[in-house]
Structure formats: C-alpha cells, structure tokens
Amino acid sequence: MSSVSYEVRDRVAEILLDSPPVNALNEGMIDALLQALYRAAEDSAVRAVILGSAVPRRFCAGLQLGELVGASPARSYALVDKLYNGLCDAQFRLGKPSIAAVGGTARGGGMTLAIHCDMIVAADTASFGYPEIDVGLTPAIHYTHLPRIVGRHRAFDLLFTGRTFDAGEAMSLGLVSRVVPEQDVMDEARALAQVLCRKSPEIMRMGRLAFMRANDTDYRRGVATAVETFGNVIATEDAREGLAAFVEKRKPRWQT
C-alpha cells in the first residue's frame, strides 16, 4: 500500500498522506508526495490540489528521525534537500492553487508540507510546532519564511522554544487561512477548492506565478541556505546525541 494516495474529485487532486500512526516522513514517502504533485501539475483537468491526511487526527509528524540515526551527513543532507528544495520546486511549478487540510498534529517537516501550500485549512483541534531544537536539530527552512509571516520575535519564540501551539494561535499569527470544526476540515478544503476551480485556469496559473514571484524575496535562495545549515548541524555531536536520545526515549546529554 502506498504511503501517499492520489485521487481526482471534481477537478481537484486530493493527495493524502497515509502512513500510520503519525505520517512520519521517510525518503519513499517524500518521493511519493513529490510524484503526486508533479502528476497534478501535468494534469490539465486538475484545477486545484488538496494536501491532507488519511490518518485520523494526524497531519504529519515530520521526518522519521530514526532514519537519521547513524546516517552519514551526506545521506542526511540529501534527504533534507529532497524535502526542502524538492518540495519548494514542486509547489512553485504546480501551476494551480494548493490547500493544506490540517486535521490534526503538524510538527517539523509536517509544518514544511503545510506552509508550502497556498492556503491552510485547520481543524479547531489541530496543533502545530517546531520541535527540532529539542532533538539537537534546526528547522532551518522556517528561518526564511516564518519571520515574514508572524514577525521576528514571535518566530524566534516558536522556533527556539520548540513549544506546541493550537489552531487559534496559528490563526492569530496568520499561519493558517481558516479554522473549522475537526469533522469539517476536508469539506471546507473541498468547498474552497471549488471556488478556485471556477476561475479561469490560465489566469489562475499566471496570477499564482506572479504572486509567488512577488513574494519570493530570495526565498528559494533561502531554501538552499537552509539545506546547508541542516547539513552542518546534522554533522555535530549534539545532533547525533539528540537523535539517539529521541529514539531511545531518554533525555539528551548535551556536550556543554
């Protein structure tokens, strides 16, 4: 069974993460997601894309950290490059609007998946967070865009405390577009997608490209820097200790 499902309904490609229990990302799952986005981009019958989850109350827990334990820095770098640069490029070239339907927890790399979409519909029970700092890693890609969305000081709070926050706070920060009851997340995303489907696909494509270029402000260059930062961090002793502690379910013992 594929870890990512793909179905076109009423001119909308629904891409659902389906890797219980928490949709943790491994290389195969990232590849499947990128292939689904490329497929939607190439299908002229698709007018909009929804990225959601088939796992109840879970959107995406981020990278499967166990895969990074013992991996060479080069291997870890390649994985994160695929997640950061690959996903950024796939969304940039999508040519049609994308909506993240976040019906549950989104952490780390799950935040990356959601934030790259054009809009985010969140359940009122959803929760968000950037916990990388707690395992000796850095959510480097979010250093590029998050301060622009929520402001420098609030971004630093979220990224460097690693705390979780709810949908209400995400809405107040401007991180999500709409908050609805948990059972209505996909219905709301589908209704929103249908509004977009009724627009001219050519004007939507041109307008979205112009919007992305106007708001790029070196973002794509920042993504490349984020990959380099992650590669430098993953090579440190503290990163290796943090990952091992996470897998072994113990507190990390930092060097200093």
Average pLDDT, the chain: 92
Characterize the bridge pairing of strands 24-25 and 105-107: unpaired
Q: What is the CATH number of the domain that holds 159?
A: 3.90.226.10
**What is the 8-class DSSP label of residue 3?**
S
Query: pTM above 0.85?
Result: yes
Asked whether the predicted pLDDT for residue 236 surpasses 80, the reply is: yes
Domain assignment present for residue 48? The answer is yes
pLDDT score for 217: 65
Please tell me the distance from the alpha carbon of residue 208 to that of residue 199, in angstroms, as a whole number: 12
Domain assignment present for residue 241? The answer is no
Please tell me the distance from the alpha carbon of residue 116 to that of residue 203, in angstroms, as a whole number: 21
Question: Who wins on pLDDT, 221 or 47?
Answer: 47
Give the chain's end-to-end CA distance (angstroms, integer).
45
Please tell me the distance from the alpha carbon of residue 67 to that of residue 255, in angstroms, as a whole number: 23
Domain assignment present for residue 237? The answer is no
Domain assignment present for residue 99? The answer is yes
pLDDT score for 256: 67
Supply the range of the domain harboring residue 112: 4-184+200-214
| pLDDT (mean) for 18-42 | 96
* Close Cβ partners of 219 (under 8 Å, ≥ 6 residues apart): 88, 144, 145
Domain assignment present for residue 103? The answer is yes
Q: How many domains does the chain have?
A: 1
Asked whether the predicted pLDDT for residue 216 surpasses 80, the reply is: no
pLDDT score for 190: 98
Are 153 and 132 within 8 A, CB to CB?
Answer: no
Domain assignment present for residue 144? The answer is yes
| pLDDT (mean) for 81-94 | 91
pLDDT score for 66: 81
Domain assignment present for residue 161? The answer is yes
> Residue 45 — pLDDT band, cuts 50, 70, 90?
very high
> Residue 1 — pLDDT band, cuts 50, 70, 90?
low
Domain assignment present for residue 238? The answer is no
Residue type, 1: M
> Residue 77 — pLDDT band, cuts 50, 70, 90?
confident
CA dihedral 32, 33, 39, 42 (to 10 degrees): -140
